Amino acid sequence: MTHGAHPNTPAPRANIDQARDCADCRSWGTVITPDGRHELCPACQLPDTEYSSIAEP
């Protein structure tokens, strides 16, 4: 049986300006894991990682 995230666990707050035009999260700033949890998009919300697809000005 698959279980989603605990209802008392809030979704992480994404920076919408960073999420704009991100193809990975479709500009939402969060992605849903296979476990059903919301996590920040590694492509646009974690700019210090190798997954970053947004260039800093």
Residue 25: per-residue pLDDT: 95
Residue 8: per-residue pLDDT: 67
Cα-trace Rg, the chain: 12
Q: What are phi and psi of 2, to 5 degrees?
A: -95, 135
Beta strands per DSSP E along 9-54: 30-32, 38-40
- The DSSP 8-state label assigned to residue 21 in this structure reads T
Q: What is the identity of the amino acid at 23?
A: A
Residue 51 has pLDDT above 80, yes or no: no
Contact between residue 44 and residue 26 where contact means Cβ atoms under 8 Å apart: no
What are the pLDDT digits (tens) for 3-47? 665 666 676 789 999 999 999 999 999 999 999 888 999 999 975
CA atoms within 13 A on the CB side of 9: 8
